[in-house]
Structure 1
Amino acid sequence: MKKKLLMGGLLPALVMSTCGVAGAQPAAMDTLTAMEQNPDAGSQMGASTEPVTQESLQEMRRQLEEQLQQAQELQNRLNAQLGSLEKRMKKVEKRSWEPPIEIHGYGRLRWDKQNFDHFSNYKAADEKTVWLNLFTKYRINDTWSIHSEHEFVNNLSTNHGAYEGDGGNDAPGGKRYSRPVLQLYTEGRIGGLNVKLGRYYLQSPYKFTFDEKIDGWQASYGIPTKWGRKANFTVNAGKTYSKNMYADMDYGNNNERWDIPGGSTDARVLSLISEIPVAKNTNITSHFGRITWQGQGNHWQRKTWSFGFDTKLNRDLKLTAAIAKSDSQTLNKSHVIQLQYKEARPDIPGSFDIYVKKYLQRGHTGMTNWFNDDIVCVTDSDFVGDVDANNPGNPWDHRYAEFNGLRIGADFVPVRNTKLLLHYTFGKMGLMDWAGNGRTNGKRDDYSFFRAQWEMYF
């Protein structure tokens, strides 16, 4: 009778209902209790019409309890295996998608041809260089990371490079171009602020008034806008490593340069930057910069303001423009405007761009060096020694104060992760008149600059 009852459907039904879900166990036990209290209920549920005894129900209870215990043990083992598998999967995903150390970079083969019409027979510099820039990122946790950039350059024209010392321009034969640790900083978040701390590149909008590394800190805060891009406000403070700044008549000692060889702990920078989307494809930018230098018993300071915008006129045409002004009494206004067609992206083979840029760049509107965007004042360029070597007995002895001209350029991506860059800059350089307290002397020299560069990313 017991066998018939178990086979008749009661036991399989109870086992299936209890083994599948742990939460069904109380219900199964309640069913057995009810059957013990009402033995006639078993004959209604099973296929057999034989009466159910107390002994058969107790045996059924014992067997069900054993099966429930086995099912619970199996479930515990499965849960433990699933937990272990989940931990291993997380480790694999972290190793696959979030490695603690990332390394990438790019190489450049570059040819620069400068032409300065200072003398009718003056031989300008012709520089062929190879560059390698390595970037590293070490992820401390989900919030903080450490970044570095290492730059190695070799001048193929003179075989300078690879770092022999820190002599700078005045070191004969020194491999003066390499900077093994160009950037080294930590980056993370504090609340809603993005923070940098260490040596890093500070660039004003469009690299117009400041484009140099500093030792200091940066705090940036972004506010979402309806255009899908954040309005960013950034504060930077630190010490600049610009080569030099120039004095002017404001300080009564315009014949002096703000010499900062290799960087100076006395050259301090404050920078406030805003980049605000005002339409779907339009941004407005501003920059306030102040640089202060204390040295040789002097206290010199310059403040610079710049305002600009960039907008897409249509899908392929982009317009960028900016103006700058400083508190200097001379050479204190500059402007730049650029029109660009298409965009060369290294991840899209066949992409390209063509652009034309108009400059009026004056020395005292820049916070670093004389000019930006690779426009060169020979006196303080890295290759002034090469220029003098090309003109024995006729050393370079003038300093430019402004540039007014055009740049025409094109970029092309022949294969993925490469770019070919070509541009030609030409215009007039204005010479500084020392006797005129930092103004130009009215003389304008022809200037041209051609660059061909092949970039490879990895």
Structure 2
Amino acid sequence: MKKSLVLAMAMALGVTASAYAANPFSDVPAGHWAYDSINKLAAAGVIEGYGDSTFGGDKLMTRYEMAQIVAKAMAKGANVDKLAAEFADELDNLGVRVANLEKKADNVKITGEVRYHYTDTNDDFNGYKTALRSRIWVNGQINEDWTYTGMLENSQDLKNNAGDETTKFQRAYVNGRVGGLAVQAGRYNKALAEGNVYDNRFDGIQASYGSDVKLTAGYGKATPSAVATTTANVRFDNFFSSNSSFTVKNDSNEVYYAELTGKVGALNLTAGYYEFKDIEADAHAEAWGFDYMGRPVHLGDKDVHFAEDATIWALGANYAFDKNFKLGALYLKGEDKLATASVDDDGYVVTASYKGAKAVEPGSWGLVAKYYDQGATTYVHHTMNGVANDIFGFKGYSVAANYAFAKNIVGQVEYYDLEEKEGNREAQTLWSQLVFTF
């Protein structure tokens, strides 16, 4: 390696040639093209030359000699990150920590998970699903106050041999502080009322204030969920129908939410307000009306499309009896998101949990049991993995167990027994997953 490679360091040091002492090297005369740079490095103590007062620019140096020069340049504050990376092993042998380089290497972190899951449902909703999902997370430090998170997801349907798969950029958001507010903005996942109102991607912004008592408020757009259908008797403004076929797409162009949480000893309390605008629904109805004497008159089939707002309130409490056992209850009250249908407008969820598997603790495990009784107006996109045709509400229970088989390998099994609140269909679902994280 020629010594001329070190001359580039001179540009990274903040002293001028006029401050230099007399020429320290006899083989670099004042008229030499590299005189200023070499003199600058010598004055800064980065290079020393040979004992005979020569620079020896035509000679090759060892990697160890070069590492010594890099170390001295770093000590003087020179920006030599690329050289520090190249000679990292030699610098380590010299006992030099490349702190700035380490900081930059830690600036972006990549993590991920691979999940296999299988779902089997019987009774009125017979069927199964099996899929492989891979997620790659990217976390970057923007500055001392702001971070960035992104997530790329690939899903492979394993039910057939067609190789059906999708790859989507599912998360892209920043977190930071503005004064006393913690801010999150972009596409992030949002679980409202512990996921019992909404649990899906959300494009928007939220701000939080406080610690022991915290207020969080947000605004944005909900992600469209899978279209759901059912059959029910429905009364419209100017006619009623028998066995109407309903289709509801649970998306909303505007969503407002606010949650207030607080803690009193082992008791955690929460209150929430959620406003979803223009949730769309379609109905194909065998319509009946009334004549002037109030007698029913068949009006034929009708196709009706409408969009309704959904307003949901939530009150919840969770009590930790000890570090392992917790019991929680959540009450929900909603205005009719399908105002033309007669459905329950409130509901509740009771949860009991014991311990919980932790990916970093092999052998750790946990149990969770829930009971649901939710009217149609109390949710938009539910967090549960159970199957029920839930346009007009559902009720039932679930039990789940999770276990860490090894470090970063966790399995989970859930069983659901759910039925419609407005109808007689029901379903039992066995849902399972095995997750590898790295």
Alignment TM class, shorter chain as reference: 0.5 to 0.7
Match of 2:23 in 1: none
Q: How does 1:172-187 map to 2 (within 5 A)?
A: 178-187=166-175
Which residue type is aligned with residue 221 of structure 2?
K
SS in 1 for 2:424: strand
Asked if 1:94 is matched to 2:103, the reply is yes
Matching residue within 428, 431, 437 for 1:448: 428
- 1:150–1:183 CA contact under 8 A, matched in 2: yes
Matching residue within 201, 224, 237 for 1:242: 224
- 2:370–2:399 CA contact under 8 A, matched in 1: yes
Asked if 1:405 is matched to 2:392, the reply is no
- 1:273–1:287 CA contact under 8 A, matched in 2: yes
Match of 1:214 in 2: 202
- 2:267–2:317 CA contact under 8 A, matched in 1: yes
1:255 deviates by: 6.4
Asked if 1:354 is matched to 2:367, the reply is yes
TM-score normalised to structure 2 length? 0.65
Matching residue within 93, 100, 115 for 2:122: 115
Match of 1:58 in 2: none
SS in 1 for 2:392: strand
Match of 2:137 in 1: 135
1:414 deviates by: 1.4
**Deviation readout 1:361-394 (Å, 9 max, x if unpaired):** 33221033xx43123345xxxxxxxxxxxxxxxx
SS in 2 for 1:348: coil
Change (3 A) 1:245 1:405: closer
Match of 1:149 in 2: 151
TM-score normalised to structure 1 length? 0.62
- 1:153–1:161 CA contact under 8 A, matched in 2: no
Q: CA separation in 2, counterparts of 1:291 and 1:252?
A: 26
Q: CA separation in 2, counterparts of 1:246 and 1:235?
A: 32
Match of 2:269 in 1: 284
SS in 1 for 2:377: helix
1:132 deviates by: 0.7
Match of 1:365 in 2: 378
Q: How does 1:254-293 map to 2 (within 5 A)?
A: 257-259=247-249, 267-279=253-265, 281-293=266-278
Which residue type is aligned with residue 361 of structure 1?
Q
- 1:108–1:456 CA contact under 8 A, matched in 2: yes
Match of 2:179 in 1: 191
1:277 deviates by: 1.4
Q: How does 1:332-347 map to 2 (within 5 A)?
A: 332-347=345-360
Q: CA separation in 1, counterparts of 2:391 and 2:335?
A: 20
SS in 1 for 2:194: helix
1:324 deviates by: 0.7
Aligned residues: 320
Q: CA separation in 2, counterparts of 1:246 and 1:275?
A: 35
**Deviation readout 1:328-359 (Å, 9 max, x if unpaired):** 26221121111112221111111101222111
**Deviation readout 1:58-98 (Å, 9 max, x if unpaired):** xxxxxxxxxxxxxxxxxx969998554999843034145xx
SS in 1 for 2:224: coil
Which residue type is aligned with residue 383 of structure 2?
N
1:326 deviates by: 0.1
- 1:304–1:367 CA contact under 8 A, matched in 2: no
Which residue type is aligned with residue 94 of structure 1?
K
In structure 1, the gaps of 5 or more residues are 1-75, 119-123, 164-177, 224-229, 379-398, 431-439
Match of 1:169 in 2: none
Q: CA separation in 1, counterparts of 2:204 and 2:108?
A: 24
Match of 1:20 in 2: none
SS in 1 for 2:101: helix
Q: CA separation in 2, counterparts of 1:252 and 1:201?
A: 40
1:208 deviates by: 1.2
SS in 2 for 1:92: helix
In terms of fraction of residues, the more strand-rich structure is 2
Q: CA separation in 1, counterparts of 2:206 and 2:113?
A: 25
CA RMSD, 1 decimal? 3.3
Which residue type is aligned with residue 348 of structure 1?
E
Q: CA separation in 2, counterparts of 1:267 and 1:240?
A: 7
Worse-superposed segment, 139-148 or 83-92: 83-92
Matching residue within 374, 389, 405 for 2:385: 374
Could you tell me the percent identity over the aligned residues?
A: 20
SS in 2 for 1:272: strand
**Deviation readout 1:1-55 (Å, 9 max, x if unpaired):** xxxxxxxxxxxxxxxxxxxxxxxxxxxxxxxxxxxxxxxxxxxxxxxxxxxxxxx
1:159 deviates by: 4.5
SS in 2 for 1:208: coil
Match of 2:325 in 1: 317
1:104 deviates by: 0.8
In terms of fraction of residues, the more helix-rich structure is 1
In structure 2, the gaps of 5 or more residues are 1-43, 47-71, 82-97, 281-303, 337-341
Q: CA separation in 1, counterparts of 2:247 and 2:380?
A: 13
SS in 2 for 1:206: coil
Change (3 A) 1:160 1:239: farther
1:258 deviates by: 4.8
- 2:388–2:419 CA contact under 8 A, matched in 1: no
Q: CA separation in 2, counterparts of 1:149 and 1:252?
A: 48
